[in-house]
Amino acid sequence: MEAISTTTYIKRKKDGRIHIKSGSKAERVMRWTIVLFIVLTIMAFMFFDYGQLNLMSAITETAYNLKIMFMQPALSHFTWGEAFYQVGITLGLAVLSTVLGAVMAFFLSLMAATNLSKDWVSKTVRIMVAFIRAVPTVLWVLIFAIAAGLGSEAAVLGMLFHSVAYLVKAFSEAFEEVDAGIIEALRATGSSWWHIVTHAVLPSTFTYLLSWTFLRFEINFSVAVAMGAAAGAGGIGFELFMASGFYFDLSEVGFITYAILVIAIVLEVLSTRLKNRYFAASAGE
């Protein structure tokens, strides 16, 4: 078989005829895999046991609940001061796990980067963090809860564990994108390993490290909301759990949802402005 382009292939049959076929084997496998998933999804919806579900009634009640939740948000079981305090707890959990995780991940990622570390060290670190990433954050929290008990300590340790594994992968890949010529030039001049890291690797990848750290902070904030209920860590997540599962107060659920949304938007704006300021400072130099 002779390939004439990235998407078209020519195959000569035994009888001498030429058969032209577009697309590679990988593309065809991907296409049929997607088709199979679509078919299985449709079949799953067809075989669901809907019981006594009245579709029109369900749609009407859902629309009413959404209206109460998002059009009439209100506080019923705690004050504004308590709301800010609970939000502060959630932000504190996210900040603590992200800052500690970023510092630990920075040094581990130097060992995981193939251009900065020995091959066996890099593979060992990568295997360890891959195992940690494979376990969900909530499961790590529950594992640490056995030793530390339910509360903020278990939540921080669980989020910290997963944050380190997540950031090690991101940081190490950023380090490996550094121009190999710069590293070789510094090594040829007799520069030490740490001198190469501080004068070549870190300046070239700082914006990427900043972006990944803020992304992980946003993830940790969302996880901290969930851990507030699942691990008894407190914060706005615990109030959301109480409002939805204990008080059944949809107006309060809507208020808490809006508060979480506003915080997420503020974090995104701060992240963008900080990155733009660093880019501007780098360009000015």
Instruction: Examine residue 213 and state whether it is found in any structural domain, yes or no.
Output: yes
pLDDT (tens digit, 9 = 90+) per residue, 143-174? 888 877 777 788 888 889 899 999 999 999 99
My answer on whether 10 and 126 are in the same domain is: no
**pLDDT per residue as tens digits for the range 66-82:** 888 888 888 877 788 88
| Dihedral, CA of residue 149, residue 150, residue 156 and residue 159, to nearest 10 | 110
C-alpha to C-alpha distance for 236 and 225, rounded to whole angstroms: 6
pTM, two decimal places: 0.74
100 with 235, same domain: the answer is yes
Same domain, 257 and 189: yes
Query: Residue 32 domain-assigned?
Result: yes
What is the tens place of the pLDDT at every residue in 44-60? 887 877 777 777 888 88
Q: Could you tell me if 233 and 116 lie in one domain?
A: yes
Asked if residue 218 and residue 167 are part of one domain, the reply reads yes
- Tell me 199's DSSP state: I
CATH number, domain at 194?
1.10.3720.10
Q: Which two tokens stand for residue 97?
A: 């796990």
In a domain, 55, yes or no: no
Above 90 in pLDDT, residue 43?
A: no
The reply to whether 111 and 200 lie within a common domain is yes
| Residue 168 within any structural domain of the chain | yes
The whole domain housing 132 covers: 77-284
Q: Where are the alpha helices (DSSP H) in 231-249?
A: 236-245
The SS3 call for residue 15 is: coil
Among 163, 129, 164, 157, residue whose Cα is nearest residue 142: 157
180 within domain boundaries: yes
Q: Is the dihedral of CA 195, 196, 200, 201 positive or negative?
A: negative
Higher pLDDT, 5 or 272: 272
CB under 8 A, 24+ apart: contacts of 176-185? 176/113, 176/114, 176/115, 177/205, 178/115, 178/204, 178/205, 179/204, 180/115, 183/115, 183/116
pLDDT, one tens digit per residue, over 199-232 is 888 888 888 888 899 889 988 988 888 887 766 6
At 16, is the pLDDT very low, low, confident or very high (cuts 50, 70, 90)?
A: low
Within a 13 Å sphere around the CA of 38, how many CA atoms are in the beta-carbon half? 6
115 with 175, same domain? yes
